[in-house]
A and B are shown apart, each in its own frame.
Chain A
Amino acid sequence: MFKYWLKNRFLLDILAPVALVVIAAFVFVAPMFGDLGEARLDISLYENEKLNFDVPSPSYDQVSQLENESFITSVFPYFYTKTNLSVDGKTRETNLFFSDAFDKLEQTMYCKSRVIETADQSYSNPVLVDYQFVQDTGARIGSTVSVTLGSSRIDFQVSGIYETNIYYDGGAVMAKWEGAQKDAVMAISPRTAYSGAYIQATDYQQCKNYLETQYKPYGRLKDRSEFATQEAYDIHYNAFMSSNYANEITDFSVRGQESLSKAKAKENSANLYTIIPYIVIAVILIMYNLLMWLRKSERCYFSKRKVSGGGNAVVYYLFSIFVQAALIIGGMTIVNLVVSSNMTLYVPSAIIVSKSSISILATALISIVVAVENMILAHKARK
Chain B
Amino acid sequence: MKKAIVLFLVLAIVIIVMWKCGGLSDCDLLKESEYYVATADFFYSNDKGHSYGNGTKEYQVGETVYMKIKAKVTTNKKTPETIKIKLTIPSVKALDAKYYDGQPITPVYDAVQNITTYEFTITASQNAQEWEFVFQFVPNEEAEVLMTLVFDDHLDSAYDKQNTIKFVLPDENTEANEVE
Q: Are B110 and A80 in contact (CB under 8 A)?
A: yes
Q: Are A55 and B111 in contact (CB under 8 A)?
A: no
Closest A residue to B150 by beta carbon equals A169
Interface pick from B8-16, B43-51, B158-166: B8-16
A305 at the interface (CB under 8 A from B): no
Interface residue tally on B, bucketed by range: 35 or more
Bound complex: CA A228 to CA B141 (Å): 9
Closest A residue to B138 by beta carbon equals A239
Within 8 A of B (CB), among A228-250: 228, 231-233, 235-236, 239-240, 243, 245-250
Interface pick from A67-75, A288-296, A313-321: A288-296
Q: Are A79 and B111 in contact (CB under 8 A)?
A: yes
Bound complex: CA A81 to CA B1 (Å): 69
Interface pick from B31-39, B66-74, B101-109, B171-179: B101-109
Q: A236-B140, A294-B1 are in contact. Are A247 and B96 (CB under 8 A)?
A: no
Q: Are A189 and B111 in contact (CB under 8 A)?
A: yes
Query: Which of A219, A233, A243, A292 sits near B140, CB closer than 8 Å?
Result: A233
Neighbouring B residues of A54 by C-beta, 8 Å: 106
Neighbouring A residues of B108 by C-beta, 8 Å: 56, 80, 95, 168, 195-196
Q: Are B110 and A196 in contact (CB under 8 A)?
A: no
A376 at the interface (CB under 8 A from B): no
Query: Which of A15, A55, A189, A294 sits near B112, CB closer than 8 Å?
Result: A189
Bound complex: CA A79 to CA B105 (Å): 17
Bound complex: CA A167 to CA B5 (Å): 52
Neighbouring B residues of A248 by C-beta, 8 Å: 98-99, 104-107
Counting residue pairs across A and B whose Cβ atoms lie within 8 Å, the total is 133
Q: Are B99 and A195 in contact (CB under 8 A)?
A: no
Neighbouring A residues of B106 by C-beta, 8 Å: 54-56, 196, 248-250
Q: Are B93 and A219 in contact (CB under 8 A)?
A: no
B113 at the interface (CB under 8 A from A): yes
Q: Are A191 and B62 in contact (CB under 8 A)?
A: no
Q: A232-B141, A235-B140 are in contact. Are A81 and B107 (CB under 8 A)?
A: no
**Interface code B3-24, partner A: CB below 8 Å = 1, 0 otherwise?**
0110011001100110010000
Neighbouring A residues of B156 by C-beta, 8 Å: none
Bound complex: CA A240 to CA B112 (Å): 22
Q: Are B62 and A235 in contact (CB under 8 A)?
A: yes
A144 at the interface (CB under 8 A from B): no
Q: Are B138 and A23 in contact (CB under 8 A)?
A: no
Q: A81-B111, A222-B93, A250-B105 are in contact. Are A23 and B61 (CB under 8 A)?
A: no
Bound complex: CA A189 to CA B86 (Å): 22
A361 at the interface (CB under 8 A from B): no
- Distance in angstroms from B7 CB to nearest chain A CB is 10
- Distance in angstroms from A383 CB to nearest chain B CB is 20
Neighbouring B residues of A178 by C-beta, 8 Å: none
Neighbouring A residues of B64 by C-beta, 8 Å: 239
Bound complex: CA A247 to CA B20 (Å): 42
A188 at the interface (CB under 8 A from B): yes
Neighbouring A residues of B117 by C-beta, 8 Å: 82
Q: Are B61 and A235 in contact (CB under 8 A)?
A: yes
Q: Are A185 and B111 in contact (CB under 8 A)?
A: yes
Q: Are B104 and A251 in contact (CB under 8 A)?
A: yes
Instruction: Write the residues of chain A forming the contact surface with B, with a CB cutoff of 8 angstroms.
Output: 12, 15-16, 19, 23, 27-28, 31, 54-57, 79-83, 95, 98, 149-150, 168-169, 185, 188-191, 195-196, 219-220, 222, 226-228, 231-233, 235-236, 239-240, 243, 245-251, 254-255, 280, 284, 287-288, 291-292, 294-297
Instruction: Write the residues of chain B forming the contact surface with A, with a CB cutoff of 8 angstroms.
Output: 1, 4-5, 8-9, 12-13, 16-17, 20, 61-62, 64, 84, 86, 91, 93-94, 96, 98-102, 104-114, 117, 119, 136, 138-141, 152
Q: What are 16 A-B pairs at a CB distance below 8 A?
A: A15-B9, A23-B17, A27-B16, A31-B20, A81-B111, A95-B108, A190-B91, A195-B108, A220-B91, A227-B93, A235-B139, A236-B96, A247-B104, A291-B4, A294-B1, A295-B1
Per CB-CB distance, the 9 closest pairs between chain A and chain B, nearest first, are A239-B138, A235-B140, A81-B112, A239-B96, A232-B140, A195-B109, A189-B111, A54-B106, A250-B106
Knowing that A56-B107, A235-B139, A247-B101 are A-B contacts, what are 20 other residue pairs whose CB atoms are under 8 Å apart, sorted by A's residue number? A12-B5, A31-B20, A80-B110, A95-B108, A185-B112, A188-B112, A189-B114, A191-B114, A196-B106, A220-B96, A228-B141, A235-B140, A236-B96, A239-B138, A240-B96, A248-B106, A249-B104, A294-B1, A295-B5, A296-B1
